[in-house]
Structure 1
């Protein structure tokens, strides 16, 4: 049951992620929601939106959502502004669940000229199609910004989820939902006292071989993690309520060891890994700058 203190307005269960996203929070949502401020008094900010699991779970009336991944934000904007055209595009025969169609669509970004000639609707349809049919539902690009995940060989993927797209469209069309495509620090510049900011950056790798920063062509290394900590501190000083998710590494735990912050260890299910043996339960942390309320 959804709490009225969390969701101001009618909750729609069909408003949910339209993409499977590496690092997505759907499995961890019950744990995260326990610690979300009740109520969210002002504006909800999420500068690393990804698949949007927490946003769609809470469905706040007023939100500022952002991601540095231009293709991802284009998907959100097309669903909001050009849904009928997107549905019409995804209904075309070229978006079939076949290896030939998949690699033909995937390889469009090998030619910058060919890719740049695509409309915004075609770019969004391509990403949704690739995400639904690629191996393990993984969004990953190489250093040239080219989508490089192999074909998934699923029997019957739901490439065009009409009901979910229409529900997400209705939610995003509210004039109180703002979509941005910029650096995380710029995305939260307008956050003020009483606003809730959820930070879900690319995670600190748990080992030297575990690093996965291929969501766009820009990596998110430990220098970026430290810059994010500075932003966390700045938001705290402004009176914002801030929650951060990250790996349970010594580096992250040490970075946020300040007395005014609370670090909570949680168990999460990770289903995306190139090695099937490394999927399963892992430790993560939630960092809060506010007192924990009754759960």
Structure 2
């Protein structure tokens, strides 16, 4: 299946890999059977590789709904997106919809997907963040001309989803990996271990992802390794992570952090790529 350069992320996501995709693909095996990605997020690696067969997962149900709508109802989604206004009052009205669960649950999958894209394109710094109640809480971005309706990209992604054999799931990462067999390849991009007490990458889902979750993920990597399944994992280059994966091959790369509420905190930081193969 030919690579389509128009197939790129449709949302900006915390920890997205577009900035370092060239560094990541250098370490991905040339051939594998099924591609697994249990922390899909913005999907930069999936869209770069465009594998023929993939099982992709995210614990964020709204994000998985978005991808399913792009696959099955892209034209209806585009039509709905065209109705949105880049207006602060309108933004907060739409943002508040998830405060009323009874009303929110009556929105169609297309309306929910359209809302997610709109908020992502018009909120401050493109930061998808929810509070502990699972409510979107990023403020309005005040952008002059945000690209709310990226029609070419949406249609290209929809075309790829329909040509390939893509399975979308919304589960715990362990559950999402249960079907993996030798010959498959797994790319893991979990919420990162915070580089400081004030840093956090866990606001994309109300559940959070603390060090006990990082340990649970490492145990999942050990099981993949025991099965002879190749994996590649991204994370921050903290002492905790480097020690946790000390039995595996670790490469340090430079990544540019582009999402931070403070401009002086953006810039190049060390990240790790962990793998169980040469």
Instruction: State whether TM-score is above 0.5.
Output: yes
Instruction: Pick the aligned partner of 2:218 from 229, 232, 248.
Output: 229
**What is the alpha-carbon distance in structure 1 between the residues aligned to residue 103 and residue 95 of structure 2?**
12
- Runs of 5+ unmatched residues, structure 1: 1-8
Partner of 2:94: 105
Q: CA deviation at 1:111?
A: 1.1
Instruction: Pick the aligned partner of 1:37 from 26, 29, 47.
Output: 29
SS in 1 for 2:186: strand
**What is the alpha-carbon distance in structure 1 between the residues aligned to residue 14 and residue 50 of structure 2?**
21
Report if the CA contact (8 A) 2:52-2:164 is conserved.
no
How many residues get paired?
Answer: 278
Question: Where does 1:127-276 land on structure 2 (aligned, <5 Å)?
Answer: 127-174=116-163, 176-258=165-247, 261-276=248-263
Partner of 2:75: 84
- Runs of 5+ unmatched residues, structure 2: none
Residues 26-59 of structure 1 show CA distances to partners (whole Å, capped at 9, x for unaligned) of: 00101001111112x2010000000000000010
Q: CA deviation at 1:211?
A: 1.8
**C-alpha RMSD over aligned residues:** 0.8
Alignment partner of 1:57 is 2:48: yes
**What is the alpha-carbon distance in structure 1 between the residues aligned to residue 6 and residue 79 of structure 2?**
20
- TM-score, reference length from structure 1: 0.93
Q: CA deviation at 1:63?
A: 0.5
SS in 1 for 2:6: coil
**What is the alpha-carbon distance in structure 2 between the residues aligned to residue 254 and residue 175 of structure 1?**
38
**What is the alpha-carbon distance in structure 1 between the residues aligned to residue 167 and residue 262 of structure 2?**
37
**What is the alpha-carbon distance in structure 2 between the residues aligned to residue 149 and residue 171 of structure 1?**
31
Partner of 1:278: 265
Q: CA deviation at 1:68?
A: 0.4
- TM-score, reference length from structure 2: 0.99
